[in-house]
Structure 1
Amino acid sequence: MASHSPALLTTAQRALLSRLPDDLPDRDIARFYTLTPADRAFIAQHRRSVNRLGVAVQLCMLRYPGRTLMSLPDVPVRVLRAIAQQLDIAPAAFVSYGARRTTCYEHLDAIKAHYGYRTWTWQDARAVMRAILPQAQANAQSLPLIEAAHQQLRDRRLILPGITVVERLVWGVQRVATRSVERLLTRDLTVDQQARLDALLVVAADAPRSTRGSMPLTWLREEPGDPAPAALLRLLDQLAILADLALPPLPATLHRSRWRQLARQGAHYRPQPLRVLD
């Protein structure tokens, strides 16, 4: 994954994915932050109430959003209260947690050792990329892919890296997915069909404007307009050219949402820029 990969998210999206939402629904708080008896037994190994609460919060943050407590800007009050109530500890005790930074990291190491959380490796990155590749082939949008990558990391008990690192990972997946879709769309084209498609982008230097020779693809895209005889003849001519190409049907394995995205993107391209695309 090259370091020059483009940013896939806006600043606001990046900030949102790097913190715990203040408006997390009650059902999600119950889902992610309900402590099991085994959790309470592990937490109880720490004597002071402030440390028990701190360990519980650290464990919960690793579960969702999947980040270390030290990498988050804050913990929403509603979330802190829900965790503290289960331990019968006043939420205010959390204020003094972390006065010694070393203690926080010692607790983090203990949680990682006990629950199996760990920092990701490039081998893990490849596994995550393989897991989200089918989604990238079906839908090229970046935000859902980044959210899917986050979920894959959480499922593997891998501590989420910085958001820009995940962006680079997803960018790499998108490139692989795009190449695979391109191969899928062009694999059944004959040499003659490829040449004829390329010819649609060639401008005849001596052709007058607004004619088929000025830019065949532009001419093929023209709508019939008024139901006049000339417009009907032009439409029939356009349909005949398309039929004569005898292009293969869309591959059954290409997800419908992806070819719709491609169609929308292609509709916005003018023929001239299409000539310089790889």
Structure 2
Amino acid sequence: MEGLRSFPTIGKDELIRYFTLPPADEAFLRKFRRAQNVLGAAVQLSTLPWLGFVPVEVPAAPPTAAGRLARQLGLAVADLAGYGEREQTRTDHLKEIAGYLGWKPAKTIEHKELDEFLLARAMEHDSPSLLFRLGCEYLRSAKVIRPGVVSLLEKVATAREAAERETHARVAHLLYPEWAQGLDGLLVVDLAGGRAGAGVADERGRRGREAEVPAGTWRGRPGHVVPARRAGAATWPRSGAG
């Protein structure tokens, strides 16, 4: 988990691509005045497009990356030590840098779009690590600052659960097309007294109360069950996730 919050090892190509300052970037960084702030802001400016976020410990940037920036700015690498001791300084600088680069924090609309993206990918892939990586790549391409690791992992888990429910529903419609128009009405509310939901009562009434929900059911959403068998029908496919 900690590795997802800190600086990874940097390769030569990434070093050249992300830690080379064009004149416009150098001019922007000079506004931070103090050597410590200029170099610290330079690390943040270079790291945001590289990782999609900036680790809290900015001075822990790869020495080769910090050294490359220091040489371009005519500063000493040692100037980076102590940068960000005041959290407010670091966050204020990141806000300015994000605005300069055209990045934005994840707000309500960005969270919703990320959820939709993850759900679509979860319908194709079930690997949590792959979904996490795809989510990070999506956010970078949209220039949205990556939210916290825990938050993103929770979104991945939610997307996987939603994809599983959607898959079960699609399988139900394929195996039992006659249920397509009223699948929700066949859900049985599993109350303490065993009382059936209104949808089931209506369905039974329409069928002249020909059959009761048989024993042996596949459980879907918490508090609900779906008939596992019908006369002359195959057994409902069971998921390993239960």
TM-score (norm 1): 0.58
Tell me the CA shift for residue 73 of structure 1: 8.3
**11, 15, 19: which one aligns with 2:6:** 19
Q: Which amino acid aligns with 2:90?
A: C
Distance 1:15 1:98, change over 3 A: closer
1:150-161 alignment runs, 5 A limit: 150-161=136-147
Match status 1:63 vs 2:49: yes
Given that 1:57 and 1:69 are in contact with CA atoms closer than 8 Å, whether structure 2 keeps it comes out as no
1:185-204 alignment runs, 5 A limit: 185-190=171-176
Distance 1:182 1:139, change over 3 A: same
Q: Which amino acid aligns with 1:16?
A: G
Deviations 1:113-139 (A, max 9, x none): 323333211321110122233321111
Given that 2:18 and 2:46 are in contact with CA atoms closer than 8 Å, whether structure 1 keeps it comes out as yes
Other-structure match for 2:135: 149
Other-structure match for 2:204: none
Distance 1:34 1:129, change over 3 A: farther
Other-structure match for 2:104: 118
Tell me the CA shift for residue 85 of structure 1: 2.7
Given that 1:125 and 1:169 are in contact with CA atoms closer than 8 Å, whether structure 2 keeps it comes out as no
**SS in structure 2 of the partner of residue 138 of structure 1:** coil
1:31-110 alignment runs, 5 A limit: 31-70=17-56, 74-110=60-96
Tell me the CA shift for residue 164 of structure 1: 0.8
**116, 120, 143: which one aligns with 1:134:** 120
Distance 1:63 1:146, change over 3 A: same
TM-score (norm 2): 0.66
Separation (CA, whole Å) in 2 of partners of 1:188 and 1:106: 54
Separation (CA, whole Å) in 1 of partners of 2:96 and 2:163: 39
Q: Which amino acid aligns with 2:70?
A: A
Separation (CA, whole Å) in 1 of partners of 2:3 and 2:58: 11
Separation (CA, whole Å) in 1 of partners of 2:63 and 2:139: 26
Other-structure match for 2:225: none
Q: Which runs of 5+ in 1 are unaligned?
A: 1-13, 193-198, 203-243, 248-261
Given that 2:59 and 2:81 are in contact with CA atoms closer than 8 Å, whether structure 1 keeps it comes out as no
Other-structure match for 1:29: 15
**SS in structure 1 of the partner of residue 93 of structure 2:** helix
Separation (CA, whole Å) in 2 of partners of 1:88 and 1:104: 21
Given that 1:118 and 1:157 are in contact with CA atoms closer than 8 Å, whether structure 2 keeps it comes out as yes
Distance 1:69 1:19, change over 3 A: closer
Say how many residue pairs are matched.
Answer: 193
**SS in structure 1 of the partner of residue 43 of structure 2:** helix
Tell me the CA shift for residue 102 of structure 1: 4.1
Distance 1:188 1:48, change over 3 A: same
Deviations 1:176-209 (A, max 9, x none): 22222223333221379xxxxxx9x79xxxxxxx
Which has the larger helix fraction?
1
Deviations 1:185-238 (A, max 9, x none): 33221379xxxxxx9x79xxxxxxxxxxxxxxxxxxxxxxxxxxxxxxxxxxxx
